[in-house]
Amino acid sequence: MPRQSETSVPRTAGHASPYDVARWCAANGWPVHPLAAGRKTPAANCASCRESPHRPYQCPCHSAGKWCHGFHAATTNSQLLDAWWGSNPTLGVGVSCGPARLVVLDIDAHSAEVPDRNRLLPGIPIHDSVNLNGLASGFDTLALLAALRGKKSPADDDSTLRVRTPSGGLHVWYQAPSHGPHYKSSVGSSPKVALAWQVDIRASGGYIVTPATRTAAGIYRALGTTRTVAPLPNWLATELHRTGHPVNNVPALQPRPLPNRATPARKQAHGLLEPLLAQVEACAAASEGTAFTEKLNRAAYTAGGLVAGGHLDHGQAHDLLTTAANAARPHRHRHSSAVISSALSAGASRPLHLKGRP
Protein backbone atom coordinates (compact mmCIF):
# COMPACT_ATOMS: atom_id res chain seq x y z
CA MET A 1 0.00 0.00 0.00
CA PRO A 2 1.36 3.47 -0.85
CA ARG A 3 2.65 5.41 2.10
CA GLN A 4 0.26 8.05 3.38
CA SER A 5 2.00 11.41 3.33
CA GLU A 6 2.48 13.47 6.46
CA THR A 7 1.32 16.48 4.49
CA SER A 8 -2.29 16.96 3.60
CA VAL A 9 -4.67 19.16 1.70
CA PRO A 10 -6.00 21.85 4.05
CA ARG A 11 -9.01 20.98 6.20
CA THR A 12 -10.90 23.70 4.33
CA ALA A 13 -10.18 22.07 1.01
CA GLY A 14 -10.96 25.07 -1.19
CA HIS A 15 -7.74 26.79 -0.06
CA ALA A 16 -5.24 24.34 -1.57
CA SER A 17 -3.61 25.16 -4.89
CA PRO A 18 -3.73 22.54 -7.67
CA TYR A 19 0.05 22.25 -7.49
CA ASP A 20 -0.07 21.53 -3.74
CA VAL A 21 -2.78 18.92 -4.29
CA ALA A 22 -0.81 17.29 -7.12
CA ARG A 23 2.28 17.05 -4.90
CA TRP A 24 0.20 15.66 -2.02
CA CYS A 25 -1.24 12.96 -4.27
CA ALA A 26 2.16 12.06 -5.71
CA ALA A 27 3.62 11.80 -2.20
CA ASN A 28 0.94 9.21 -1.47
CA GLY A 29 1.97 7.23 -4.55
CA TRP A 30 -1.04 8.27 -6.63
CA PRO A 31 -0.18 9.21 -10.24
CA VAL A 32 -1.77 12.51 -11.30
CA HIS A 33 -2.60 14.20 -14.58
CA PRO A 34 -3.88 17.69 -15.42
CA LEU A 35 -7.54 18.54 -15.86
CA ALA A 36 -8.66 21.42 -18.06
CA ALA A 37 -8.90 24.65 -16.07
CA GLY A 38 -12.36 24.97 -14.53
CA ARG A 39 -13.48 21.55 -15.76
CA LYS A 40 -13.47 17.95 -14.60
CA THR A 41 -12.24 16.60 -17.94
CA PRO A 42 -8.57 16.01 -18.91
CA ALA A 43 -6.50 18.82 -20.37
CA ALA A 44 -6.36 18.79 -24.17
CA ASN A 45 -3.86 16.77 -26.14
CA CYS A 46 -1.02 18.44 -28.03
CA ALA A 47 -1.65 19.54 -31.63
CA SER A 48 0.15 16.52 -33.05
CA CYS A 49 -2.07 14.08 -31.15
CA ARG A 50 -5.19 15.99 -32.18
CA GLU A 51 -4.23 15.93 -35.85
CA SER A 52 -3.00 12.32 -35.99
CA PRO A 53 -5.29 10.06 -33.92
CA HIS A 54 -3.57 7.11 -32.29
CA ARG A 55 -3.96 4.94 -29.23
CA PRO A 56 -2.46 6.18 -25.94
CA TYR A 57 0.08 3.38 -25.55
CA GLN A 58 1.47 4.24 -29.01
CA CYS A 59 2.00 7.92 -28.16
CA PRO A 60 5.56 9.31 -28.00
CA CYS A 61 4.41 12.33 -26.00
CA HIS A 62 4.59 10.62 -22.61
CA SER A 63 8.31 9.99 -22.86
CA ALA A 64 8.66 13.63 -23.90
CA GLY A 65 6.96 14.80 -20.71
CA LYS A 66 3.60 15.83 -22.22
CA TRP A 67 0.21 15.17 -20.65
CA CYS A 68 -1.58 13.84 -23.76
CA HIS A 69 -4.33 11.20 -23.45
CA GLY A 70 -5.65 12.09 -20.01
CA PHE A 71 -5.09 9.55 -17.26
CA HIS A 72 -2.74 7.53 -19.49
CA ALA A 73 -0.15 10.28 -18.87
CA ALA A 74 -0.52 10.24 -15.07
CA THR A 75 2.73 10.38 -13.12
CA THR A 76 4.31 10.94 -9.71
CA ASN A 77 7.45 12.49 -11.25
CA SER A 78 8.12 15.71 -9.33
CA GLN A 79 9.86 17.36 -12.29
CA LEU A 80 6.79 16.86 -14.47
CA LEU A 81 4.53 18.17 -11.71
CA ASP A 82 6.71 21.28 -11.49
CA ALA A 83 6.61 21.73 -15.26
CA TRP A 84 2.89 21.11 -15.69
CA TRP A 85 1.44 23.09 -12.81
CA GLY A 86 4.32 25.55 -12.56
CA SER A 87 3.53 26.80 -16.07
CA ASN A 88 -0.23 26.25 -15.85
CA PRO A 89 -1.30 26.91 -12.23
CA THR A 90 -5.04 26.86 -13.00
CA LEU A 91 -5.08 23.27 -14.29
CA GLY A 92 -7.11 20.90 -12.13
CA VAL A 93 -5.87 17.56 -10.81
CA GLY A 94 -7.02 14.04 -11.61
CA VAL A 95 -5.71 10.79 -10.14
CA SER A 96 -5.39 7.67 -12.30
CA CYS A 97 -7.12 5.12 -10.10
CA GLY A 98 -5.66 1.91 -11.53
CA PRO A 99 -1.94 2.55 -10.94
CA ALA A 100 -2.80 4.14 -7.58
CA ARG A 101 -4.76 0.99 -6.68
CA LEU A 102 -7.65 3.20 -5.64
CA VAL A 103 -11.25 2.07 -5.68
CA VAL A 104 -13.52 5.09 -5.41
CA LEU A 105 -17.26 4.84 -4.92
CA ASP A 106 -18.88 7.64 -6.92
CA ILE A 107 -22.30 8.10 -5.36
CA ASP A 108 -24.71 10.08 -7.53
CA ALA A 109 -27.66 12.14 -6.43
CA HIS A 110 -29.00 12.83 -9.92
CA SER A 111 -32.68 13.29 -10.55
CA ALA A 112 -33.69 10.20 -12.50
CA GLU A 113 -36.51 7.72 -12.77
CA VAL A 114 -36.04 4.93 -10.24
CA PRO A 115 -35.77 1.56 -12.02
CA ASP A 116 -37.55 -1.65 -11.12
CA ARG A 117 -36.54 -2.98 -7.69
CA ASN A 118 -34.71 -5.92 -9.27
CA ARG A 119 -32.33 -3.51 -11.03
CA LEU A 120 -31.40 -1.47 -7.94
CA LEU A 121 -28.80 -3.99 -6.72
CA PRO A 122 -27.76 -6.14 -9.69
CA GLY A 123 -27.81 -9.81 -8.79
CA ILE A 124 -29.72 -9.27 -5.53
CA PRO A 125 -33.51 -9.71 -5.67
CA ILE A 126 -35.29 -7.32 -3.32
CA HIS A 127 -38.35 -8.90 -1.76
CA ASP A 128 -41.67 -7.11 -2.14
CA SER A 129 -41.85 -6.76 1.64
CA VAL A 130 -38.92 -4.32 1.59
CA ASN A 131 -40.32 -0.78 1.67
CA LEU A 132 -38.58 1.33 -0.97
CA ASN A 133 -40.63 4.47 -0.50
CA GLY A 134 -38.38 7.51 -0.65
CA LEU A 135 -35.53 5.77 -2.48
CA ALA A 136 -34.22 8.32 -4.94
CA SER A 137 -30.44 8.19 -5.37
CA GLY A 138 -27.21 6.26 -5.04
CA PHE A 139 -27.05 7.19 -1.38
CA ASP A 140 -30.19 5.13 -0.86
CA THR A 141 -29.16 2.09 -2.91
CA LEU A 142 -25.73 1.95 -1.26
CA ALA A 143 -27.35 2.19 2.17
CA LEU A 144 -29.70 -0.62 1.15
CA LEU A 145 -26.80 -2.85 0.07
CA ALA A 146 -24.93 -2.12 3.29
CA ALA A 147 -28.02 -2.85 5.39
CA LEU A 148 -28.54 -6.19 3.65
CA ARG A 149 -24.94 -7.08 4.57
CA GLY A 150 -25.25 -5.76 8.12
CA LYS A 151 -22.69 -3.00 7.49
CA LYS A 152 -22.54 0.78 7.74
CA SER A 153 -22.98 2.63 4.46
CA PRO A 154 -19.64 3.76 2.98
CA ALA A 155 -21.21 7.19 2.56
CA ASP A 156 -21.00 7.47 6.36
CA ASP A 157 -17.49 6.02 6.65
CA ASP A 158 -15.51 8.82 8.32
CA SER A 159 -12.37 6.63 8.53
CA THR A 160 -11.48 7.38 4.91
CA LEU A 161 -11.29 10.33 2.53
CA ARG A 162 -14.73 11.43 1.34
CA VAL A 163 -15.21 14.23 -1.16
CA ARG A 164 -18.44 16.12 -1.78
CA THR A 165 -18.96 16.90 -5.47
CA PRO A 166 -20.46 20.15 -6.77
CA SER A 167 -23.60 18.28 -7.87
CA GLY A 168 -24.27 16.95 -4.37
CA GLY A 169 -22.80 13.50 -4.91
CA LEU A 170 -20.01 11.92 -2.90
CA HIS A 171 -16.69 10.22 -3.69
CA VAL A 172 -15.60 7.64 -1.11
CA TRP A 173 -11.93 6.70 -1.56
CA TYR A 174 -10.55 3.26 -0.66
CA GLN A 175 -7.17 1.58 -1.18
CA ALA A 176 -7.12 -1.89 -2.73
CA PRO A 177 -4.43 -4.25 -1.36
CA SER A 178 -1.23 -4.43 -3.38
CA HIS A 179 -1.40 -8.23 -3.58
CA GLY A 180 -5.02 -8.42 -4.74
CA PRO A 181 -6.74 -8.04 -8.10
CA HIS A 182 -7.21 -4.86 -10.03
CA TYR A 183 -10.82 -3.77 -10.33
CA LYS A 184 -12.50 -2.33 -13.40
CA SER A 185 -14.50 0.88 -13.47
CA SER A 186 -18.27 0.62 -13.89
CA VAL A 187 -21.47 2.63 -13.87
CA GLY A 188 -24.45 2.05 -11.63
CA SER A 189 -26.83 1.77 -14.57
CA SER A 190 -24.84 -0.89 -16.39
CA PRO A 191 -26.81 -4.09 -17.14
CA LYS A 192 -23.63 -6.20 -16.85
CA VAL A 193 -21.18 -4.83 -14.26
CA ALA A 194 -22.61 -2.58 -11.56
CA LEU A 195 -22.54 -2.40 -7.78
CA ALA A 196 -25.74 -0.45 -7.24
CA TRP A 197 -27.98 1.95 -9.12
CA GLN A 198 -26.41 5.44 -9.22
CA VAL A 199 -23.19 4.14 -7.62
CA ASP A 200 -20.30 4.20 -10.09
CA ILE A 201 -16.91 2.59 -9.45
CA ARG A 202 -13.75 4.51 -10.36
CA ALA A 203 -10.86 2.06 -10.62
CA SER A 204 -8.67 0.70 -13.44
CA GLY A 205 -9.42 2.45 -16.71
CA GLY A 206 -10.61 5.65 -15.05
CA TYR A 207 -9.66 8.61 -12.92
CA ILE A 208 -11.05 10.60 -10.02
CA VAL A 209 -11.15 14.36 -9.46
CA THR A 210 -9.17 15.40 -6.39
CA PRO A 211 -10.44 17.43 -3.46
CA ALA A 212 -9.92 21.19 -3.81
CA THR A 213 -10.41 21.05 -7.59
CA ARG A 214 -12.51 23.97 -8.83
CA THR A 215 -14.92 23.69 -11.75
CA ALA A 216 -17.56 26.01 -13.13
CA ALA A 217 -20.11 24.08 -11.04
CA GLY A 218 -18.20 24.49 -7.77
CA ILE A 219 -15.44 22.98 -5.64
CA TYR A 220 -14.78 19.34 -4.76
CA ARG A 221 -14.65 19.54 -0.95
CA ALA A 222 -13.19 16.95 1.41
CA LEU A 223 -15.55 16.16 4.29
CA GLY A 224 -14.57 16.06 7.95
CA THR A 225 -10.93 15.88 8.97
CA THR A 226 -9.83 12.57 7.43
CA ARG A 227 -7.36 13.01 4.59
CA THR A 228 -6.03 9.44 4.45
CA VAL A 229 -7.49 6.55 2.50
CA ALA A 230 -8.65 3.44 4.35
CA PRO A 231 -8.21 -0.11 3.03
CA LEU A 232 -11.04 -1.42 0.90
CA PRO A 233 -13.45 -3.13 3.33
CA ASN A 234 -13.61 -6.89 2.92
CA TRP A 235 -17.35 -6.89 2.46
CA LEU A 236 -17.09 -4.36 -0.40
CA ALA A 237 -14.32 -6.40 -2.02
CA THR A 238 -16.66 -9.41 -1.85
CA GLU A 239 -19.41 -7.39 -3.53
CA LEU A 240 -17.03 -6.23 -6.27
CA HIS A 241 -16.08 -9.86 -6.93
CA ARG A 242 -19.74 -10.85 -6.97
CA THR A 243 -20.54 -8.16 -9.56
CA GLY A 244 -17.65 -9.02 -11.89
CA HIS A 245 -15.27 -6.14 -11.20
CA PRO A 246 -11.90 -7.96 -10.88
CA VAL A 247 -9.72 -7.93 -13.99
CA ASN A 248 -7.48 -10.90 -13.18
CA ASN A 249 -4.49 -8.94 -11.90
CA VAL A 250 -3.90 -7.33 -15.30
CA PRO A 251 -1.83 -4.18 -14.63
CA ALA A 252 -3.90 -1.02 -14.87
CA LEU A 253 -4.03 0.66 -18.26
CA GLN A 254 -2.16 -2.16 -20.02
CA PRO A 255 -3.60 -2.25 -23.56
CA ARG A 256 -5.64 -5.25 -24.55
CA PRO A 257 -4.82 -5.83 -28.24
CA LEU A 258 -7.17 -7.52 -30.60
CA PRO A 259 -6.58 -11.23 -31.15
CA ASN A 260 -3.90 -11.43 -33.80
CA ARG A 261 -3.62 -15.01 -34.89
CA ALA A 262 -1.72 -15.53 -38.10
CA THR A 263 -4.71 -15.50 -40.46
CA PRO A 264 -5.56 -12.84 -43.04
CA ALA A 265 -9.05 -12.44 -41.55
CA ARG A 266 -7.71 -11.75 -38.07
CA LYS A 267 -5.32 -9.17 -39.45
CA GLN A 268 -8.14 -7.61 -41.44
CA ALA A 269 -10.30 -7.40 -38.32
CA HIS A 270 -7.44 -5.73 -36.47
CA GLY A 271 -6.95 -3.30 -39.35
CA LEU A 272 -10.63 -2.41 -39.45
CA LEU A 273 -11.23 -1.78 -35.77
CA GLU A 274 -7.96 -0.26 -34.52
CA PRO A 275 -8.26 3.03 -36.49
CA LEU A 276 -11.87 3.44 -35.35
CA LEU A 277 -10.89 2.94 -31.71
CA ALA A 278 -8.09 5.47 -32.17
CA GLN A 279 -10.59 8.02 -33.50
CA VAL A 280 -12.75 7.51 -30.41
CA GLU A 281 -9.82 7.94 -28.02
CA ALA A 282 -8.64 11.03 -29.90
CA CYS A 283 -11.86 12.77 -28.83
CA ALA A 284 -10.13 13.33 -25.49
CA ALA A 285 -8.43 16.31 -27.15
CA ALA A 286 -11.57 18.41 -26.63
CA SER A 287 -14.65 18.15 -24.45
CA GLU A 288 -17.05 18.90 -27.31
CA GLY A 289 -17.21 19.31 -31.07
CA THR A 290 -15.39 16.03 -31.83
CA ALA A 291 -18.36 13.92 -33.02
CA PHE A 292 -17.62 11.51 -30.16
CA THR A 293 -20.98 9.73 -30.28
CA GLU A 294 -20.82 9.27 -34.03
CA LYS A 295 -17.29 7.84 -33.86
CA LEU A 296 -18.13 5.53 -30.96
CA ASN A 297 -21.25 4.34 -32.77
CA ARG A 298 -19.23 3.60 -35.92
CA ALA A 299 -16.60 1.66 -33.97
CA ALA A 300 -19.20 -0.34 -32.05
CA TYR A 301 -21.24 -1.09 -35.18
CA THR A 302 -18.10 -2.40 -36.90
CA ALA A 303 -17.17 -4.42 -33.82
CA GLY A 304 -20.67 -5.94 -33.81
CA GLY A 305 -20.16 -7.09 -37.40
CA LEU A 306 -16.80 -8.60 -36.49
CA VAL A 307 -18.37 -10.43 -33.56
CA ALA A 308 -21.17 -11.80 -35.74
CA GLY A 309 -18.60 -12.82 -38.35
CA GLY A 310 -16.64 -14.83 -35.79
CA HIS A 311 -13.54 -12.62 -35.77
CA LEU A 312 -13.92 -11.26 -32.21
CA ASP A 313 -15.88 -12.35 -29.16
CA HIS A 314 -18.48 -10.08 -27.62
CA GLY A 315 -16.66 -9.61 -24.31
CA GLN A 316 -13.45 -8.53 -26.05
CA ALA A 317 -15.35 -6.12 -28.26
CA HIS A 318 -17.21 -4.58 -25.35
CA ASP A 319 -14.01 -4.16 -23.31
CA LEU A 320 -12.10 -2.56 -26.19
CA LEU A 321 -14.92 -0.11 -26.91
CA THR A 322 -15.42 0.74 -23.24
CA THR A 323 -11.70 1.39 -22.76
CA ALA A 324 -11.63 3.70 -25.77
CA ALA A 325 -14.78 5.55 -24.68
CA ASN A 326 -13.53 5.97 -21.12
CA ALA A 327 -10.25 7.42 -22.39
CA ALA A 328 -12.15 10.08 -24.32
CA ARG A 329 -15.15 10.78 -22.09
CA PRO A 330 -14.46 9.27 -18.63
CA HIS A 331 -17.42 11.03 -17.03
CA ARG A 332 -20.00 9.96 -19.63
CA HIS A 333 -20.14 6.25 -18.79
CA ARG A 334 -23.92 5.96 -19.06
CA HIS A 335 -24.05 7.60 -22.47
CA SER A 336 -21.12 5.56 -23.79
CA SER A 337 -22.55 2.30 -22.43
CA ALA A 338 -25.87 2.94 -24.17
CA VAL A 339 -24.19 3.77 -27.48
CA ILE A 340 -21.95 0.71 -27.32
CA SER A 341 -24.77 -1.72 -26.47
CA SER A 342 -27.06 -0.37 -29.19
CA ALA A 343 -24.43 -0.23 -31.93
CA LEU A 344 -22.96 -3.65 -31.10
CA SER A 345 -26.43 -5.14 -31.39
CA ALA A 346 -27.14 -3.32 -34.66
CA GLY A 347 -23.79 -4.33 -36.14
CA ALA A 348 -24.34 -7.95 -35.21
CA SER A 349 -27.30 -8.05 -37.62
CA ARG A 350 -24.83 -7.56 -40.49
CA PRO A 351 -21.91 -9.98 -40.03
CA LEU A 352 -18.62 -8.98 -41.61
CA HIS A 353 -17.26 -11.85 -43.70
CA LEU A 354 -13.56 -11.20 -44.14
CA LYS A 355 -11.28 -12.90 -46.63
CA GLY A 356 -8.99 -15.55 -45.29
CA ARG A 357 -11.14 -16.77 -42.45
CA PRO A 358 -10.23 -20.42 -41.72
Please write the tens of the pLDDT for every residue from 4-18.
Answer: 443 456 554 456 899
Three-state DSSP string of the chain:
CCCCCCCCCCCCHHHCCHHHHHHHHHHCCCCEEEECCECCCECCCCHHHHHCCCCHHHCCCCCCCCCCCHHHHCECCHHHHHHHHHHCCCCEEEEEHHHHCEEEEEECCCCCCCCCHHHCCCCCCCCCCCCCCCCCCHHHHHHHHHHHCCCCCHHHCCCCCEEECCCCCEEEEEECCCCCCCEECECCCCCCCCCECCEEEECECCEEECCCCEECCEECEECCCCCCCEECCHHHHHHHHHCCCECCCCCCCCCCCCCCCCCHHHHHHHHHHHHHHHHHHHHHHCCCCCCHHHHHHHHHHHHHHHHHCCCCCHHHHHHHHHHHHHHHCCCCHHHHHHHHHHHHHHHHCCCCCCCCCC
Mean pLDDT of the chain: 83
The CA–CA distances, whole Å, from 293 to 54, 59, 270, 280, 342 equal 18, 23, 21, 9, 12
Using the predicted structure, report yes or no on whether residue 358 has a pLDDT greater than 60.
no
Question: Is residue 147 over pLDDT 60?
Answer: yes
* Higher local confidence (pLDDT), 85 or 265: 85
Mean pLDDT of 96-110: 92
Q: Please report the pLDDT score of residue 221 as a whole number.
A: 93
pLDDT of 172? 98
Q: Are 328 and 280 in contact (CB under 8 A)?
A: yes
Q: Which fold does the domain 100-242 belong to in CATH?
A: Prim-pol fold (3.30.2250)
Helices 314-328 and 333-348: angle between axes, nearest 10 degrees: 140
The pLDDT assigned to 148 comes to 92
pLDDT above 70 for 38: yes
Kindly state the average pLDDT of the residues 286-315.
Answer: 81
Q: Domain-by-domain residue ranges, the chain?
A: 13-98, 100-242, 264-348
Split at pLDDT 50, 70, 90, the class of 96 is: very high
Residue 243: which of 196, 280, 312, 207 has the closest Cα? 196
pLDDT in tens, 192-245: 788 999 999 999 988 999 999 999 999 999 999 999 999 999 999 999 999 999
Is 152 a residue whose pLDDT tops 60?
yes
CB atoms within 10 A of CB 49: 21
pLDDT over 80 at 270, yes or no:
no
pLDDT for res 264: 61
Residue 10 has a pLDDT of 52
Q: What's the pLDDT at 318? A: 79
Closest CA to 358 of 262, 258, 260, 270: 262
282 vs 43, residue with greater confidence: 43
Would you say residue 98 has pLDDT above 60?
A: yes
Percentage above 70 pLDDT, the chain: 87
Selected residue with higher pLDDT from 201 and 112: 201
Taking the C-alpha atoms of residue 239 and residue 251, their distance in angstroms, rounded to an integer, is 21
